[in-house]
Amino acid sequence: MTRFLVLIGLLVALPSCTPAPQSNVVLVIIDDLGWKDLSVSGSEAYQTPAIDRLAQDGIRFTRFYSDSPVCSPTRAALMTGKHPARLDITNWIGGQQKGQLLQADYEWQLPLEETTVAEHFKAAGYATGFIGKWHLGAEGFHPEDQGFDVNVAGHAAGHPASFFWPYEREGGSPWDVPDLEDGSEGEYLTDRLTDEALAFVEAQKENPFFLVLSHYAVHTPIQAPADMIETEQARLDADPPCRPDPFDDDPEWSTTRTCQDRADYAAMMTSTDQSIARLMQALEDYGIGDRTIVVFVSDNGGLSTLRQGRTSGPTSNRPLRAGKGYLYEGGIRIPFIVHDPRGGRPGLRTDPASTVDVTPTLLDLAGLDVPDVDGRSLARPGLEERPLFFHFPHYHGSGNRPGGAVIDGQFKLIEWFETGDVELYDLENDPGEWTNLAADQPALADSLRTLLGDWRTSVEAKMPRSNPDWTGD
């Protein structure tokens, strides 16, 4: 099954009736999960039966986007419903690169003045828990400072020192995962975070709760249990998914993996899928599966593209172009699934939406008031089309240069800040973004550039500046 499926008839609508006040909500965030990393969306190498079942029993969005091609900005959007450019969190926190331009200034924490989705649920009497990757600020800006009653393993870092206990580097490092010191030899981080999430569910099963299970997988370091890697390698050897040289030099500054062929990444995907299976089974075992909404999302596209001279990323997003760090489809189109057991017809949604819509949707599904934010509730049928905007005024290890983008209907414009050049794509007929139409349709390109510029002005987006020390490549 691919994203090119056409939905016959009207768009599938999420349930819009007011639910019982005791509905629980679980938000699962997978780090760096690519649009094509699920077998339900056409993966050629990874097996994800539990996530596929979640999608088949729920609503899967085929044109869903992260509001940034990197993690911290998207996570800020997920927590608030506000666009990263409005929050001034436009880069992954800690990311510092420069080139022809000096990157735009940005915030290194989610301001405490912002009202998070957890604070909305907590005000409504929900127990709130956060398990896993945070990456939205250091001490004083952790999940427990942003509306979560419980925080396990969430801190400033964006990836773990290791996926194996004790989840740290010898001598200590900023990436050492906190709160899990009581583990044992061989313990795997994805399994341990699932244990912690299930412990929270068990403790709160008699009460309404909002839980965020934010896995560090499938981010680097690419590590998995040896027996799982051996199993995946044998399967891939028996049925190789790739041509002999599964790489190309596109975009021009980068090397991109074009085929899903790594057994260690496949093993991480299997482990992640097992986590979802355990979560769904626990909800049934505790008798709360019929009143627990589960929403599944990534924070950006899969890591397939790295600057030339570096090794390529561990997965592939093809037929989408490029990957994490880029504003091409491979960097920002991501999986999004809403599983609501209380009713509603399962199916596909083909209307474009993005991560700013997650907070309003969760609150609406739970029957709570929806705040006035940049996103909107996807639980409401008959939504009018609206443009989606992207602002990434930064360099990235993928080879990406600073730029912005807008998607309006079937068309997408990318603007590069170094040169002012634009690229225009017809996503309906060219989802791989191979044919730049900017020269053929200059009026449309100019119109979309104006739309993008006006939006940047409206949110007071910060822009990069000329680098006085720049001497060329």
Q: What pLDDT was estimated at residue 371?
A: 97
Higher pLDDT among residues 252 and 275, named by residue: 275
With a cut of 50, say whether residue 91 has pLDDT above it.
Answer: yes
Q: What pLDDT was estimated at residue 244?
A: 64
Please state the three-class secondary structure of the chain as a single string: CCCCCCCCCCCCCCCCCCCCCCCEEEEEEECCCCCCCCHHHCCCCCCCHHHHHHHHHCEEECCEECCCCCHHHHHHHHHHCCCHHHHCCCCCCCCCCECCEECCCCCCCCCCCCCCHHHHHHHCCCEEEEEECCCCCCCCCCHHHCCCCEEECCCCCCCCCCCECCCCCCCCCCCCCCCCCCCCCCCEHHHHHHHHHHHHHHHHCCCCEEEEEEECCCCCCCCCCHHHHHHHHHHHHHCCCCCCCCEECCCCCEEEECCCCCHHHHHHHHHHHHHHHHHHHHHHHCCCHHHEEEEEEECCCCCCEEEECECCCCCCCCCCCCCCCCCCHHHHECCEEEECCCCCCCEEECCCEEHHHHHHHHHHHCCCCCCCCCCCCCCCCCCCCCCEEEEECCCCCCCCCCEEEEEECCEEEEEECCCCCEEEEECCCCCCCCCCCCCCCHHHHHHHHHHHHHHHHHHCCCCCEECCCCCCC
Average pLDDT rounded to a whole number, residues 261-279: 98
With a cut of 70, say whether residue 20 has pLDDT above it.
Answer: no
pLDDT, tens digit, 9 for 90 and up, residues 280-303: 999 999 999 999 999 999 999 999
Q: What pLDDT was estimated at residue 7?
A: 29
pLDDT confidence band for 185 (50 / 70 / 90): very high
pLDDT confidence band for 60 (50 / 70 / 90): very high
With a cut of 80, say whether residue 76 has pLDDT above it.
Answer: yes
Q: Which domains are seen in the chain, by residue range?
A: 24-382 (3.40.720.10)
pLDDT confidence band for 114 (50 / 70 / 90): very high
Q: What pLDDT was estimated at residue 326?
A: 98
Q: What pLDDT was estimated at residue 309?
A: 79
pLDDT, tens digit, 9 for 90 and up, residues 383-428: 899 999 999 999 999 999 999 999 999 999 999 999 999 999 999 9
Q: What percent of the chain has pLDDT over 70?
A: 95
Q: What pLDDT was estimated at residue 473?
A: 63
Q: Whole-number mean pLDDT of the chain?
A: 93
pLDDT, tens digit, 9 for 90 and up, residues 356-384: 999 999 999 999 999 999 999 999 878 89
With a cut of 60, say whether residue 231 has pLDDT above it.
Answer: yes
Q: What pLDDT was estimated at residue 242?
A: 82
Query: Looking at 103-117, 222-236, 380-394, which range is the least confident one?
Result: 380-394
With a cut of 50, say whether residue 274 has pLDDT above it.
Answer: yes
pLDDT, tens digit, 9 for 90 and up, residues 122-158: 999 999 999 999 999 999 999 999 999 999 999 999 9
Higher pLDDT among residues 383 and 101, named by residue: 101
Higher pLDDT among residues 303 and 473, named by residue: 303
pLDDT, tens digit, 9 for 90 and up, residues 303-357: 999 998 777 799 999 999 999 999 999 999 999 999 999 987 899 999 999 999 9
